[in-house]
Chains A and B, each alone.
Chain A
């Protein structure tokens, strides 16, 4: 049991360390490590894992780690896998946040951030575009996307309401 928990922690530590590009990168690493290398899940279990992680609230990386951990070793497994996937984040982000606080007043750092901000806005835009390519295939989703855009940008409607509205529209109209 303890051995399983340790290898769950270490496997998810590795996943959290090498998954560049957010939750979806974590899923790709899980396929490699958990399905292919460790053989803890079958290919079809992995497919189910992907849809469950995307369908439940919260970060995809945490959802998938918890789910895999729980299936393999119950509640202790869920905790070990989740702890593993966040360990590297905790270390790196704590250090970076500290460095940012200490050096953000330096002119070079400020000029770096002047160019970083439009790049970050563009990355968010790209994420939105790629989400749209997957989901906006008909008129109704396109309309829903446009309405949500206007409600958030012009009327500052709470995002939680938008998600609930989307769910209602999905259940009743689509």
Chain B
């Protein structure tokens, strides 16, 4: 059922994600996951999560980084450019217009603000569902569970930047395998 890979579909998919998701990077994850993993079948769940790990270790906007990373993995550098263009096109057009005519549209924004009282909790539920879905599909071991819990606690209490979590978890992965292999030898 996988759709054939084409730059056109890549562009349109990111355009769709950039146009229809509100509330920043994490709000876009559920839709990106649905499109690339479930609908198009271009990536496995693991590929998607692995790319997300890279994205978290790089500065800048998450969706921009994800677009470049996924585009590059699928089609090389031109894929990165096409995905980036798709992900940013709507923002560019819409915010340029708002930026230029800001004082004319300013009053109309209060209706939008009202809509967001409903959008924000709905997006929260979606992001939580996405996290639970990811956890359900990673390999189930005591170590995975421990890493999950430790990360949640550390980020919640110490507000640690994701990059340290990424470096720490990668180091733990390498060290644990070394310990295991040492045990076998």
Contacts and interface: CB of A to CB of B under 8 A. Distances in A.
B100 A70 contact: yes
Interface in A134-162: 134-136, 141-142, 144-153, 156, 158-160, 162
B147 A52 contact: no
Given A124-B131, A152-B129, A55 B58 contact: no
A136 B119 contact: no
A26 B143 CA distance: 33
Contact of B61 (A62, A121, A122, A124): A62
B100 to A, nearest CB: 5
B88 A58 contact: yes
Interface string A58-95: 11111100111111001100110010011011101110
Nearest to B152: A122
Contacts of B115: 166-167, 170-171
Interface residues of A, number: 103
Interface string B82-100: 0010011011101110111
B174 interface: yes
Contacts, number: 404
A18 B72 CA distance: 22
Contacts of A48: 102, 106
Interface in B102-144: 102, 106, 109, 111-135, 138-139, 143-144
A89 B151 contact: no
B122 A59 contact: no
A19 interface: yes
A58 B90 contact: yes
A93 B113 contact: no
A147 B125 contact: yes
B40 interface: no
A168 interface: yes
B24 to A, nearest CB: 4
A16 B60 contact: yes
A82 B50 contact: no
Nearest to B25: A22
A1 interface: no
A127 interface: yes
B59 interface: yes
A130 B14 CA distance: 26
A79 to B, nearest CB: 8
Of B52, B70, B118, most A-chain CB atoms within 10 Å:
B118
Contacts of A3: none
A37 interface: no
